Amino acid sequence: MKTSKIIATTFFVILFAVMYFNYFAPSDKVGSFSKFSPGSEINQVINVEVVKAKGFERDGIGNIISFYVKDKDDIEVQVSLHEPAPADIINAEVIEVLGHMHGNTLTASRVTVLK
């Protein structure tokens, strides 16, 4: 009886670990804008690549307030920020954005550098 409890417990721990690392663990894998509903006010999280070639728009005191990103399908959109972007975004490759789409603009409430 003891052996079967140990085996069952080990099985569930391994199953939980596999599920966590496959479904719930944070990833720097780039997502797709196709999951966003146009005109929706519901914020969603997406990982995107920063398009450094298009530069960064700054406000009067030098804070980054707008820049361009692309998804896994190479669709480029402008990210417009409510708050200034983190300074290390200039060197970032992949970022996580929480926001919603308005046409070709992703209005972001949070930006986090992943890679």
Return the pLDDT at 1. 62
CA distance 90 to 50: 8
Q: Which pTM was predicted?
A: 0.77
CA distance 83 to 4: 55
Pairing mode, if any, of strands 76-81 and 105-113?
parallel
> Tokens 């966003």 identify what position?
36
Return the pLDDT at 111. 95
The count of residues in the chain is 115
Instruction: Parse the chain into domains and list their residue ranges.
Output: 28-113
CA distance 28 to 5: 37
Mean pLDDT by 10 residues, the chain (115 residues): 85 86 75 86 94 94 94 96 90 95 92 92
Return the CATH fold of 28-113. Answer: OB fold (Dihydrolipoamide Acetyltransferase, E2P) (2.40.50)
43 near 98, Cβ under 8 Å?
Answer: yes
Return the pLDDT at 82. 86
Return the pLDDT at 38. 77
